[in-house]
């Protein structure tokens, strides 16, 4: 074939050597001349295979503590020359530059070094210069050169050179060029984001090298993709492939349950990104039972999440419910077998993993980026606004309700009692409508709201909400405060014996 190229020579210089041996042996078997440097050169020699040091080609040693090894015209000329260009061919002969048909180079582990908490000096030393330059050069000249830039591709490369007897096609080389530019662009993005961690430069660079095609997007007529390392956050034990909507719900569930880390057994049931049931109890079984009681209708087809291990007794109860996903830090073996009783039910073991510090979403012809809402209302933030003070039990319920409110779509009102979600009004255009929705829903599931508490994601511009809440039996309120008419709500509470506290922090969620 006209576009086929026989590999006669190769430059190999890698940080990660796992899986490299079989490729080197195959190249040697095919009679390929191999050039290398440093640790890779030693690795190849230890395999008993002849290798030519790059220094013998450049007549220049590795200098500056290894910072400069391959940055030389005789190396880059061998990669970038155009084999169908008479001038290039003549200059190759004039300067005695060896042709390089295959370049296997990877990059220093910059991201892993940053993640390890290493010193800035160690991080800077892991910014690859020679490697990134070699990758870009070889990928640019894909017409004549095959560039391999990741150990993840070693298996595919070995298959190509084995089946082709050392010959590659233009299509193969172009595909590997794309893979190489994917590697190099991701690497540069990681470096930029490290230097711009405080966002002094208003520039957005996002790079995810792991992607998955989903069955479809939010609806069957929409294409859908997930980009990210799902396996770093979860071990999937059972069930069908997660859908676009499943992933959104799982994200909402994880963010919500993070508020209850290291607390008493807490169980939540979510539907369309909002909690329809949540309870905290002495046992995970009772937490599940009481979470389900919050809205057993909406729980159908929901996402379930626990902050503690799910046992067999809890699994027996869960198994009675049709649910899409069950998430926990662990499951007992017996629990797993019970929950596997539904073949499509997805079981996820959640690992300890930090979520991104910022949130990005598309907007108009661009994107919006903001810090994650990492503020959780606490006793230290509370400022009593009324003459009546919440009791200790009410205060616990207020903070409990506030955590749920933070993760519920605005406008929202959350009603809670005894560490149990009674009901919430979600995504309403009016805060009054959200409250009325919550009251009606709570009553429909036979909740006694006498002594319940109310949380609001934003302030009350009028006293109507506290008045409606009071008449429903609610005795204590938590809200950000900050309205120029706060005093109207305060006055109503004082006149009617309600306690109300301000947090000073709004928790809109759109």
Structure tokens at 428: 């309403």
- Contacting residues for 320 by C-beta, under 8 A, at least 6 apart: none
Structure tokens at 457: 């994601």
SS3 per-residue string spanning 299-311: CCCEEEEECCCEC
Distance of CA 468 to CAs 25, 82, 474, 496, Å? 79, 79, 9, 12
- Contacting residues for 234 by C-beta, under 8 A, at least 6 apart: 327, 348, 349, 350, 351
Structure tokens at 303: 């996402």
Dihedral angle sign, alpha carbons of residues 44, 46, 50, 53: positive
Active-site residues, by number, are 140, 272
Task: Determine whether 388 is exposed, middle or buried from the number of CB atoms within 10 Å of its CB (0-12, 13-18, 19+).
Answer: middle
Three-state DSSP at 266 gives: strand
- Contacting residues for 480 by C-beta, under 8 A, at least 6 apart: 456, 457, 458, 459, 502, 503, 504, 505, 506, 507
């Amino acid at each position: 074939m006209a576009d086929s190229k026989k590999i006669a020579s190769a430059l190999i210089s890698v940080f990660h050597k796992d899986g490299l041996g079989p490729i080197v042996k195959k190249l040697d078997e095919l009679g390929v001349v191999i050039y290398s440097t440093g640790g890779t050169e030693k690795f190849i020699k230890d395999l008993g295979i002849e290798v030519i040091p790059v220094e013998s080609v450049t007549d220049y040693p590795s200098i500056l503590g290894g910072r400069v090894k391959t940055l030389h015209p005789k190396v880059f000329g061998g990669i970038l020359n155009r084999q169908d260009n008479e001038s290039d061919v003549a200059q190759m002969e004039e300067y005695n530059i060896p042709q390089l048909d295959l370049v296997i180079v990877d990059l220093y582990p910059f991201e892993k070094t940053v993640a390890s908490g290493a010193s800035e000096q160690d991080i800077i030393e892991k910014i690859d210069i020679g490697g990134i330059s070699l990758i870009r050069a070889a990928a640019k000249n894909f017409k004549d050169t095959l560039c391999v830039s990741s150990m993840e591709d070693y298996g595919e490369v070995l298959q190509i050179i084995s089946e082709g007897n050392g010959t590659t096609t233009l299509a193969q080389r172009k595909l590997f060029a794309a893979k190489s530019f994917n590697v190099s662009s991701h690497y540069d993005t990681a470096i930029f984001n490290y230097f711009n961690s405080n966002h002094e430069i208003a520039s957005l660079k996002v790079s995810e090298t792991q992607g998955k095609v989903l069955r479809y997007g939010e609806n069957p007529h929409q294409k859908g993709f997930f980009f990210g390392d799902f396996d770093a956050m979860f071990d999937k034990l059972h069930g069908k492939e997660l859908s676009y909507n499943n992933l959104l719900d799982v994200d909402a569930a994880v963010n919500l349950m993070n508020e209850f880390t290291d607390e008493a057994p807490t169980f939540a049931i979510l539907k369309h990104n909002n909690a329809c049931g949540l309870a905290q109890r002495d046992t995970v079984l009772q937490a599940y039972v009481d979470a389900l009681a919050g809205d057993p209708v909406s729980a159908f087809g929901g996402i379930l999440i626990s902050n503690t291990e799910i046992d067999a007794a809890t699994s027996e109860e869960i198994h009675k419910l049709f649910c899409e996903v069950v998430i926990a830090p662990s499951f007992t073996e017996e629990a797993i077998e019970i929950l596997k009783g539904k073949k499509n039910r997805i079981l996820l073991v959640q690992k300890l993993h930090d979520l991104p510090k910022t949130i990005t979403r598309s907007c108009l012809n661009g994107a919006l980026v903001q810090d994650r809402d990492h503020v959780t209302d606490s006793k230290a933030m509370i400022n009593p606004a009324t003459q009546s003070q919440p009791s200790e039990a009410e205060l616990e319920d207020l903070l409990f309700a506030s955590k749920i409110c933070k993760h519920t779509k605005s406008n929202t009102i959350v009603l809670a009692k005894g560490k149990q979600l009674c009901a919430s009004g979600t995504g309403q255009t009016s805060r009054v409508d959200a409250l009325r929705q919550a009251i009606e829903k709570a009553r429909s599931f036979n909740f006694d709201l006498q002594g319940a508490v109310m949380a609001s994601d934003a302030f009350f511009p009028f006293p109507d909400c506290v008045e409606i809440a009071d008449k429903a039996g609610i005795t204590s309120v938590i809200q950000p405060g900050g309205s120029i008419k706060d005093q109207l709500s305060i006055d109503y509470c004082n006149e009617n014996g309600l306690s109300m506290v301000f947090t000073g922090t709004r928790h809109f969620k759109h």
